[in-house]
């Protein structure tokens, strides 16, 4: 039996498959890594595609449902609440009519007559009324005012802090009905104990009694007349008169602080 000259055991020969795997392991790992990368890219692409599809679907749903629903609700509301809609329209119309200086439906000249110097009959009516107040003769009040109560007469008889009226300037405009008038009167008055003329301004509604004589209305309850008077008071001409009297009143108060304090004490 032949002996090995080197004295070593013979080495077993490796399997061809193992040798191939050992020689090509790095290439296999590169291929697997590439496959993993491709797989990750495919998964991410599919995920993004799914989200985009969902967003597109949601957007389409919003576009096709929100607007028609809002329109349907508006139509249902209009049909279900016709009274409320009509009341809102009436309110807007009323506000426009009662505030012509802001949103006039027509010009003030078309709604009301111009203010002019009052004729002698109207001017005398106003002056006589104030004379009754200053004379403290309540029995004469009914000669100039349409409706007088016992309390009204007593108040005039008992007198008040104002003792005289003078320097009348009376203007009038034709009222909403024939032989009716809206009257604006400016004047001076004095308080008891003060020798100072204080500017004042009053508004009256004048109409004829059954016998044809004119009288001052103690109260105006007719809505049409109230609206007419308010429109007239809102005109620039009347507002200028109001501002003029207010400025003169403020000047008197500034000049006579003792009188101002007295008036404030009377007003509580």
Query: Residue 187 and residue 165: Cα distance in Å, rounded?
Result: 7
Q: Is 7 left (phi over 0), alpha (psi -120 to 50) or beta?
A: left
| Mean pLDDT calculated for residue range 35-44 | 70
- Can you give the pLDDT at residue 47? 60
40/132 same-domain check: no
- Can you give the pLDDT at residue 2? 44
48/180 same-domain check: no
Q: Examine residue 241 and state whether it is found in any structural domain, yes or no.
A: yes
128/194 same-domain check: yes
70/181 same-domain check: no
Q: Examine residue 259 and state whether it is found in any structural domain, yes or no.
A: yes
29/147 same-domain check: no
Phi, psi of 71 (to 5 degrees): -65, -40
Domain CATH code at residue 140: 3.10.450.540
Does 261 score more than 60 pLDDT?
Answer: yes
Residue 29 belongs to domain spanning: 22-78
120/180 same-domain check: yes
pLDDT band at 102 (very low <50, low <70, confident <90, very high): very low
60/147 same-domain check: no
124/195 same-domain check: yes
148/216 same-domain check: yes
Does 8 score more than 60 pLDDT?
Answer: no
Q: Report which of 188, 179, 174, 171 is spatially closest to residue 130, judged by C-alpha positions.
A: 188
Phi, psi of 168 (to 5 degrees): -75, 140
| Tokens describing residue 91 | 């309110």
70/125 same-domain check: no
- Can you give the pLDDT at residue 21? 58
- Can you give the pLDDT at residue 48? 57
Q: Examine residue 63 and state whether it is found in any structural domain, yes or no.
A: yes
pLDDT band at 163 (very low <50, low <70, confident <90, very high): very high
| Mean pLDDT calculated for residue range 87-92 | 38
Task: Note if the pTM is more than 0.85.
Answer: no
Q: Examine residue 103 and state whether it is found in any structural domain, yes or no.
A: no
CA-to-CA separations, 74 to 71, 79, 87, 91, in angstroms, rounded: 5, 9, 17, 21
Q: Examine residue 9 and state whether it is found in any structural domain, yes or no.
A: no
Query: How many domains are there within the chain?
Result: 2
- Can you give the pLDDT at residue 92? 38
pLDDT band at 43 (very low <50, low <70, confident <90, very high): low
- Can you give the pLDDT at residue 16? 62
- Can you give the pLDDT at residue 49? 55
Would you call 100 helix, strand, or coil by DSSP? coil
Tell me the per-residue pLDDT of 198-250, one tens digit each, with 9 for 90 and over: 999 999 999 999 999 999 999 999 999 999 999 999 999 999 999 999 999 99
27/122 same-domain check: no
Q: Examine residue 98 and state whether it is found in any structural domain, yes or no.
A: no
Q: Examine residue 12 and state whether it is found in any structural domain, yes or no.
A: no
- Can you give the pLDDT at residue 106? 35
DSSP secondary structure code for residue 140 in this structure? G
Residues of the chain with pLDDT > 90: what percent?
56
Q: Examine residue 111 and state whether it is found in any structural domain, yes or no.
A: no
121/53 same-domain check: no
């Amino acid at each position: 039996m032949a002996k090995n000259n080197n004295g070593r055991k013979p080495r077993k020969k490796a399997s061809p498959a193992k040798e191939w795997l050992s020689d090509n392991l790095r290439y296999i790992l590169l291929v697997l890594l590439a496959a993993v990368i491709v797989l990750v890219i495919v998964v991410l692409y599919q995920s993004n595609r799914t989200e985009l599809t969902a967003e597109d679907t949601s957007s389409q749903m919003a576009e096709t449902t929100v607007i028609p629903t809002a329109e349907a609700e508006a139509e249902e509301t209009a049909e279900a609440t016709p009274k409320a809609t009509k009341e809102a329209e009436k309110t807007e119309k009323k506000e426009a009519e009662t505030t012509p200086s802001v949103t006039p439906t027509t010009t003030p000249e078309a709604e009301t007559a111009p203010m002019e110097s009052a004729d002698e009959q109207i001017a005398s009516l106003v002056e006589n009324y104030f004379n009754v107040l200053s004379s403290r003769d309540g029995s004469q009040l009914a000669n100039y005012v349409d409706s007088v109560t016992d309390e009204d007469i007593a108040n005039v008889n008992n007198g008040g802090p104002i003792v005289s009226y003078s320097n009348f300037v009376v203007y009038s405009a034709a009222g909403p009905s024939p032989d009716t008038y809206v009257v604006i009167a400016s004047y001076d008055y004095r308080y008891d104990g003060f020798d100072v003329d204080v500017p004042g301004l009053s508004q009256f509604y004048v109409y004829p009694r059954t016998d044809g004589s004119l009288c001052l209305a103690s109260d105006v309850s007719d809505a049409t007349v109230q609206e007419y008077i308010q429109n007239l008071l809102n005109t620039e001409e009347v507002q200028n008169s109001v501002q003029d009297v207010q400025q003169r009143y403020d000047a008197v108060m500034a000049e006579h602080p003792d009188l101002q304090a007295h008036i404030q004490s009377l007003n509580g």
